[in-house]
Amino acid sequence: MIENLPAYISVIFGCITVVTLLLFYRVIKKSDSAATSNKANAVLIGCIIWVILQSMLTLKNVYNSNLAALPPKLMLLGILPALIAIVFLFVTSKGRQFIDSLPLKNLTYISTVRVIVEFILFRLFIYKAIPESMTFEGRNFDIFSGITAPFVAYFGFTKKRLSRQIILVWNFICLGLLMNVVTIAMLSAPFPFQRLAFDQPNIAILNFPFSWLPTFLVPVVLFGHLVSIRQLLRTMGNNI
| Other residues' Cβ atoms within 10 Å of the Cβ of residue 47 | 17
Nearest partner of 147 among 181, 180, 114, judged by Cα: 114
Q: Return left, alpha or beta for 140; rule: phi > 0 is left, psi -120 to 50 is alpha, else beta.
A: beta
Rounded alpha-carbon distances, angstroms, from residue 6 to 12, 186, 203, 212:
11, 24, 16, 18
Separation in Å, CA 149 to CA 11, 56, 80, 224, 235: 24, 32, 27, 12, 20
The domain of 86 spans 7-238
Handedness of CA 31, 37, 42, 48 (dihedral sign): positive
User: Considering the domain boundaries, does residue 113 fall inside one?
Assistant: yes
What is the mean predicted confidence (pLDDT) over 58-69?
95
Tell me the pLDDT band of 238, cut-offs 50, 70 and 90. low
Number of domains in the chain: 1
The answer on pLDDT for 237 being more than 80 is: no
Q: Write down the pLDDT at residue 1.
A: 74
User: Does 1 reside within a domain?
Assistant: no
204 within some domain: yes
Question: Quick check: is 2 in a domain?
Answer: no
The pTM for the full model equals 0.96
- pLDDT over threshold 50, residue 240: no
pLDDT, tens digit (0-9, with 9 covering 90-100), for 88-114 = 999 999 999 999 999 999 999 999 999
55 occurs within a structural domain:
yes
Where b means 16+ CB within 10 Å and e means fewer, 54-76 reads bbebbeeebbbeebeeeebbbbe
Q: Which pLDDT score, from 0 to 100, does residue 239 have?
A: 57
Q: Mind listing the pLDDT tens digit for each residue in 134-164?
A: 999 999 999 999 999 999 999 999 999 999 9
C-alpha dist (Å) from residue 208 to 54, 88, 223: 9, 28, 23
In a domain, 17, yes or no: yes
* Cβ neighbours for 126, distance < 8 A, ≥ 6 positions apart: none
- Residues across the chain: 240
